Structure 1
C-alpha cells in the first residue's frame, strides 16, 4: 500500500512544481498537458496497467519532466521577463522538489543497475505468445551455469508432428535482447531446444543470464 502511495507522490512532484512556477495560461497549459500525460503513463506502469519496466519509467519520467519544466520556465522568461520576488521564492521551492526527485531517482537507478547484474528468473510476460494450434503442455524453471530459465513443453491441439510444431514456432535460431529499456542490460534469450529429446518433446526456453557472462 505504501509503495502505491509513494509512487503517486513521485508522479505528482513535477506537476506540482510546475503549478508553482507557471506564470501564463498558454505556456502553463502547454507544459501541464504533457506533464500530466507522463504522470498518467507512469502510474499505469506502476500498477501494471501498461507493460513496461518500472525503474526505467521512473528514470525517464524524472529526467524528461524536469527538462520540460526548465524549457517552460525559459519560454516564460523570454515572453514575460524575470519573475517577481514572490515567484523567485516559489522557484526555489520547486528547485528543491525537483532536485530531491532527481537525486532519489538517480540513487535508486544506480542501485537497481548494480543489483540487476545477476541472473534471475525471467518474467512470465517474457514468454512469447504461441501461434494458433499450439499449447503449453507443461512448464518448469531452474537456475544454473550463470542463467535462469523457463522451459515450456509445446504441444499441438490439431495433431501436428514434432517437426511441424518446430516449424510453426518459427524460431530457427535463438534471439536475444536486453531485459530492460535502459538499466537492465542482461540478455533475455528465447529459442527452441532442437536437440533430440528422448521423449520427443518440443521445448521452448526463455533464459535470463548474468550481465558479465
Structure 2
C-alpha cells in the first residue's frame, strides 16, 4: 500500500504537467526532467539510494513545482496565454499541486514532531572509523530520558596506554552536527571519555529541544 502511495506521490507532478503542457519543444524537455526527479524519489523510497526519505519528499515538491512553473512560462513565451479548455486544465493541475504541497507540509510537521525525542540509538554508520591500531573491545547502546546513545570501549592492538588511545582518536573535544540535512535538526554528538582503565568513544543523539 505504502509503495503504491509513494509512486502516486511521485507521479503527481508528471500528471500536472501532462495537463498543462502545450508545445512539442518545451513539453518533452520538462517532462523528462520531471521523470528524472520522480525516478530519483522512487529510488530513495525503495532504499536504492541512501538518503532521508522525509528530506527527499520535502525537496521533491518545490523542485518539481519550479520545473512546472518554468515550463508554463516558457510555453507562454512561445505560444502566448492559454485559453479555453487549457485554462480549466491549468486550474486542475494547480489544484493537484497545491494538495500535494499541503500534504507534504503536514507530513513534514508530523515528522519533526515525531523526531522531537529520540527513540532509538544512533546508527552504527554514525560511528567514526577507527585509526589503524585501535579496535572495539565492547559496545553498548540504549536510550535515556532525553537522548539515545551508542558507546564503544576502545582498545589498542599495539599496546597503547589510555592516554595514547585518546591521542590516536584525535577527538580532544566533543563535536556535534545536525543528524539530518533538512528536517532532522537533532544534534548528533561524538566524543571520548577516558579513565585509567579504559577509553570510551560515544555517539549520542539528543532531543530536538534539548
The TM-score, its normalising length taken from structure 1, stands at 0.86
2:160 and 2:48 map into 1 onto residues whose CA distance is: 36
Q: Render the CA deviation track for 1:71-103: whole Å, top value 9, x for unaligned.
A: 211121122112242322322222222122111
In structure 2, stretches of 5+ residues that fail to align are none
Q: Render the CA deviation track for 1:132-160: whole Å, top value 9, x for unaligned.
A: 44333322112224211011223345554
Give the CA RMSD over aligned residues. 2.1
Aligned to 1:146: 146
**Paired residues, what number?**
209
Aligned to 2:206: 209
Residue 26 to residue 112, structure 1, CA distance change in 2 (3 Å): same
Asked if residue 119 in structure 1 is aligned to residue 111 in structure 2, the reply is no
In structure 1, stretches of 5+ residues that fail to align are none
2:103 and 2:82 map into 1 onto residues whose CA distance is: 29
SS at match of 1:212: coil
Aligned to 1:176: 176
Residue 164 to residue 51, structure 1, CA distance change in 2 (3 Å): farther
2:155 and 2:42 map into 1 onto residues whose CA distance is: 38
Residue 168 to residue 23, structure 1, CA distance change in 2 (3 Å): farther
